[in-house]
Every structure is written in structure tokens, then in C-alpha cells.
């Protein structure tokens, strides 16, 4: 199956976005980045069809900032803490003026159909406070529509001041202050990094996810419970992933069987096979890191007891 297309304006020239009667933009875009030189020019060009673009950069070392500015973005740098805190800092401190904000990752693209839908929604007097966008992964030049990868709903479009991210290191979700709805058209998630870059990124994710498991075990996890985030099918999926999945045995094997067999990942061809294997390896990394950190906690507790004896 061929991948959908995203339309990109050429950088420079007059702003390609419409404005409100007071001259403010209808929609503004925030793109968090770190070392995205291979993506950022195209991402900014694509996002500028919606509105002004703010690139919130975590002190990149590969020239992401310069390329983003040349493509027409306003670049603001802020040291990275974790994903939710970085984005919440941007929501609190970037000079947004419009009513609506769209959060876009550097490897994502807005299709022309989604762009038109976003402007229609933003013009409705009875619009909801926030909107979920369905995302399709493009891997090895193929749209991944099986393996549990679709639907992939993310709350990315919301009224300014009405949504924030939960305090979670990775795989964070938004908490929206008001009614939410679902958009019809897709956003593209284009995986074009090298395999070594993909693995390095997921090692970092696995380390953060294992920290969340440790927090949960110690009762220190400050992230919102799934039931407070969503009160629908998505909420149950979050509950299973956060409160049940960490205790399932043989997780790498279970993840592969779930993606490749039960959720028909084999229908996505070679891309589906490789993705299922990579995600199984990701689960294995989380488990190993979690066990290592848990053993360190036990060793520290034993040492403390020995000191007190």
C-alpha cells in the first residue's frame, strides 16, 4: 500500500496561513526538536500551511536551530527534562497569540485534507476544546495499517490554555479541560531515520519507561491514571498498558505475537515483520533496565539496613 502524500509550501514569501479578523493567526504550531536536521526544514515548511511555527529545541548539536529558522520558524531553546515537561514549558512560555495550537513532531506531516479539516473545525462556534488526530506510520515506504499501529489517536489540536500534558517521562498524554472529539483525516508519521538512530531513540525511551515502572512500584508515579485521562475505549487501553502490561510474563514474545499474528501485522509485508521484531526488542530492553534498577534499589536497601544494624 502506498503512503499518503503531505503537501509542503516553499519557504519564504508571504505567510501561507489565514488570520482572524484581529490579525492574529487562527492556528499556531509547536514542534519539539532535538537533532532533527534531517527532517526539520521539510517539517517546518509543511507546518507553515497551518500557521506560525515555533520550534522548541532541546539544545541540538546538529544545526537544527539554523535550518528551522531558515525554513521560517521561530526557534526557542530550552534544556530538556522529559517529554511532558518540555512541551508544557513551551505551552506556558512561547508567545502564542491565536486561539488554537497544534503540536507536531519533527517526523510528522499534516496532509492537505487534515489541514482543511483543522481550519473548518477552528471556525466552528461550537467546536470542542480538544481534538484527537489519527496517525499512520510510514516505515520502509509503506503505510503500516496493522499490527495494532492503527488507529493511533493523539490529542494534538486544542484551544490555547485548555490542555496540558500529564507529568510522565515518555509516552505522555494530554489532559484536556473540556469536551474532546475526533478528527477524520490522518496525520503522517514518517520513519526515515537510520536503524542505528531508531535503536538509539528506543533505548532512550526504554530507559524512561523503566523509570516509570520503578515509580509505579514505589508508589511515586505522579502521572495521571488512565481512568482520569480517558473514559472510553482508549482509557481501557491505557489502563492495560500502564497498570497490567508491566506484570505480564514473556512480554517480548507476547508483543510479537500480538502485533504480527493477532493484529495481522503480516499483512504489512516486510515492514510489518521488522516492526514487530523491533517492538519485541523494545519490550525486552524495558524489562532488563527495570530489573537492573530494581536490583540497585534492593542493594541500596540492604546496605542501609546493614549500616543501621
Residue 138 is classified by DSSP as: E
Distance between CA 152 and CA 163 in Å, rounded?
19
Q: State the average pLDDT over residues 201-229.
A: 72
Q: What is the pLDDT of residues 75-103, one digit of tens each?
A: 999 999 888 999 999 999 999 999 999 99
> Do 275 and 147 contact (CB within 8 A), yes or no?
yes
Phi, psi angle pair for 59, to nearest 5°: 60, 55
Beta-sheet strands, E only, within the chain: 27-33, 53-57, 74-77, 100-103, 108-110, 130-139, 142-144, 153-159, 163-165, 174-176, 180-191
Buried b (16+ CB within 10 A) or exposed e, 56-66: bbbebeeebbe
Residue-range domains of the chain with CATH: 27-191 (3.90.550.10), 195-308 (no CATH)
Assess whether pLDDT exceeds 80 at residue 240: no
Q: What is the pLDDT of residues 124-170, one digit of tens each?
A: 999 999 999 999 999 998 999 999 999 999 999 999 999 999 887 76
Q: Does the predicted TM-score (pTM) go above 0.85?
A: no
Amino acid at each position: 500500500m502506498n503512503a499518503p502524500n503531505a503537501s509542503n509550501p516553499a519557504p519564504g514569501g508571504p505567510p501561507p496561513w489565514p488570520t482572524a479578523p484581529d490579525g492574529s493567526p487562527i492556528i499556531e504550531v509547536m514542534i519539539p526538536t532535538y537533532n532533527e536536521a534531517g527532517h526539520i526544514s521539510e517539517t517546518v515548511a509543511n507546518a507553515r500551511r497551518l500557521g506560525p511555527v515555533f520550534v522548541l529545541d532541546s539544545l541540538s548539536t546538529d544545526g537544527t536551530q539554523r535550518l528551522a529558522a531558515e525554513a521560517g520558524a521561530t526557534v526557542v531553546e530550552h534544556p530538556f527534562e522529559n517529554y511532558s515537561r518540555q512541551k508544557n514549558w513551551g505551552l506556558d512560555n512561547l508567545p502564542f497569540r491565536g486561539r488554537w495550537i497544534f503540536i507536531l513532531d519533527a517526523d510528522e506531516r499534516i496532509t492537505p485534507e487534515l489541514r482543511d479539516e483543522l481550519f473548518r473545525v477552528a471556525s466552528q462556534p461550537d467546536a470542542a476544546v480538544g481534538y484527537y488526530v489519527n496517525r499512520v506510520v510510514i516505515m520502509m515506504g509503506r503505510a503500516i495499517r496493522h499490527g495494532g499501529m492503527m488507529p493511533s489517536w493523539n490529542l494534538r489540536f486544542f484551544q490555547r490554555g485548555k490542555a496540558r500534558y500529564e507529568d510522565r517521562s515518555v509516552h505522555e498524554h494530554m489532559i484536556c479541560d473540556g469536551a474532546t472529539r475526533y478528527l477524520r483525516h490522518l496525520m503522517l508519521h514518517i520513519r526515515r531515520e537510520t536503524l542505528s538512530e531508531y535503536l538509539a531513540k528506543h533505548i532512550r525511551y526504554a530507559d524512561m519507561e523503566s523509570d516509570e515502572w520503578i515509580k509505579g512500584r514505589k508508589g511515586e508515579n505522579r502521572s495521571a491514571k488512565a481512568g482520569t485521562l480517558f473514559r472510553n475505549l482508549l482509557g481501557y487501553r491505557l489502563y492495560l498498558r500502564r497498570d497490567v502490561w508491566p506484570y505480564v510474563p514473556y512480554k517480548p514474545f507476547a508483543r510479537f505475537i500480538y502485533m504480527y499474528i493477532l493484529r495481522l501485522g503480516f499483512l504489512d509485508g516486510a515492514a510489518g515483520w521488522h516492526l514487530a521484531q523491533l517492538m519485541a526488542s523494545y519490550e525486552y530492553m524495558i524489562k532488563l533496565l527495570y530489573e537492573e534498577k530494581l536490583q540497585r534499589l534492593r542493594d541500596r536497601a540492604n546496605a542501609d539496613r546493614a549500616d543501621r544494624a
